[in-house]
Amino acid sequence: MNHRPFVMWPDAALRTPAKPVAEITDAVRAIWDEMINAMEAMPGVGLAAVQLGIPMALAIVDASEARGQVVRMANPEVLHASVEPRTHEEGSPNLPGVSAKIVRPRAVTVRFLNADGIIQEQDFVGLWATSVQHQIDHLAGRMYFDRLSRVKRDMLLKKARKAAR
């Protein structure tokens, strides 16, 4: 199955908060399936629906070694975050060719509507936690580089513009 193209930075869709999902339907499940295809094609460890131009609060993460452990989430929100930080090199298919070291909490507890339409709370640690926080940022209209200092962010965006030429 194919997937729609990634929305490219600086498209306004990437700065627009996603709309909450009222219920899990077959249409929502089909979007998750499309998102999984897009994530695997990158390859990546997570994806938010807004990255494909779908303005819904849907995200997926799969930071497993073997793959195939995808967690499907609607309306994800962080309930608790560890004080212990974790630094990871983050990037996005929406701004190809660049990445940056981002510091986030090492572990988070997230509440979301799961694939069965049930509210679930789940703990994520390490790369799983980094990915889920990255996706939640996308759903709020934020990019990973928004977590950088102004100077580092400006340098990264300048480098991305140069790479795009």
The answer on pLDDT for 32 being more than 90 is yes
Instruction: Note the pLDDT of residue 148.
Output: 97
Confidence band, pLDDT 50/70/90 cuts, at residue 164: confident
Number of Cβ within 10 Å of residue 12's Cβ equals: 8
Confidence band, pLDDT 50/70/90 cuts, at residue 2: confident
Of 86, 77, 90, 81, nearest in space to 42 by CA: 90
- Give the length of the chain: 165
The answer on pLDDT for 165 being more than 70 is yes
Averaged over 16-23, what is the pLDDT?
98
36-85 tens-digit pLDDT: 999 999 989 999 999 999 999 999 999 999 889 999 999 999 999 999 99
Spatial distance between the Cα atoms of 152 and 125, rounded to a whole number of angstroms: 27
Burial annotation 46-68 (CB, 10 A radius, 16+ → b, else e): bbbbbbbebebbbbbbbbeeeee
Q: How wide is the angle at C-alpha 28 spanned by C-alphas 75 and 68, nearest 5°?
A: 85
The mean pLDDT of the chain is 96
Answer for the pair 143, 92: CB distance below 8 angstroms, yes or no: yes
Spatial distance between the Cα atoms of 125 and 45, rounded to a whole number of angstroms: 13
The answer on pLDDT for 1 being more than 70 is no
93-134 tens-digit pLDDT: 999 999 999 999 999 999 999 999 999 999 999 999 999 999
Per-position DSSP letters for 2-54, written without gaps between them: --PPPPPTT-GGGGSPPBPP-S--HHHHHHHHHHHHHHHHTT-SEEEGGGGT-
